[in-house]
Chains A and B, each alone.
Chain A
Amino acid sequence: MIRTRAVVAAAATLTALLVPLAAQAQATAPDMVLARNLAATCANCHGTNGNARGDMKPLAGMPADKLIAMMADYRAGNLPATIMHQIVKGYTEDQIKLIAAHFAAQKPAK
């Protein structure tokens, strides 16, 4: 199974490299809509498009790697939290990546 998966992954990587850039951009377009929808589930606390008010952490413009790493730490219990350790476990790692991509692309307001 592991070998099969590795082969499939390698093939996918190769395909990705061979696919022209324009086609790739097309292929990623729907994902950004999904990313937008997923990130909107965070807005109730973290503000519209991550522009938070008050004591909540702003996410707009946060580098994707940083957000992904923080979520991994919440998931693992390595980062103290009141609530995020419970919420992060409701999202898949792929969903977290999409959410991170959306917030990284947002300009902080003001």
Chain B
Amino acid sequence: MMALSRETLVSALLLVLLVAIPVAATMAGEPFYVTLATRIAILALAAVGLNIALGLGGLVSFGHAAFFGLGGYVAGIFATHAFNGEPLPFGIAATTSMPVIWLSAMALCGLVALPIGAISLRTSGVYFIMITLAFAQMIYYFAVSWPSYGGEDGLSIYVRNGFPGLNTAQPLPYFLLCLGVLMAGLVLFQLIKGSRFGTALEASRQNPTRLAAVGIAPFGIRLVAFAVSAMVTGLAGALFADLNRFVSPSMLSWHMSGELIVLIILGGKGRLFGPLAGAMVYVLFEYALGGITERWQFFLGLILLGVVLFARGGLLGLLAGKARHG
């Protein structure tokens, strides 16, 4: 039998916890914990998306909230138009069907990410961080100043969008749906990481000159990675809006971008389950300490400081040891 690595064991344990808690909570009649677990799964998915750009490609995007929020607004706008019985602009039929909404959110995020990436990727380092931030802020202020979709107040989704064969209004089915999407995102991440594209992408992070010297231009690889990354984060945004039945510009804000980065650094960047580990710790802190003090982020900051100083591989690195490449 193949020996399981510690990272695999720790990852499996995280997954079991993520599934067991909401199931137990449902049986105990505590739906709040199901919502908490759903929040973890969705934030983890958003961070899995960012992890493609940041973890594999070394592209520190400080603007991924743009895609998270755009995905959220796609869900919100579809739901609002469907609720009011109005078609969308360009004659697109409004729907409350999640698969259609998800595909639309991903398509939109991919399309928006291409020009943002094409411009941002001409820079690197701090400039890349600042340009991605600037683009996200532009979209943020656009949403704030667009009254037809709630502007600053945001947009409510009166009835959660539906998925064929599932009662998404119930907490547990919706959690399981989000879990399924998260798993799909994780599978995608792992496939990309092991593929030719992933090899080139990781090489572009480690040594772009080396990549160019075998005849692969880093720019194209990074641009595609940025777009794929944005699409996954956008999908998570659509799920997040449906979870809260609400979408507002705060999903687009730079706080959100920072939060996604924190999730990855906390959990272990470039690692398959890093985002999930990060999201679990983050949400548990938010819940457990948030009830005691408004300044729970201070304590999260301390942990983050510890991770950055003493455990570069994140919490997963701490628990499972150094990552090895094939």
Instruction: Answer yes or no: are A and B bound together in one complex.
Output: no
By a beta-carbon cutoff of 8 Å, the part of chain A in contact with chain B is: none
Q: Interface of B with A (CB < 8 Å)? A: none
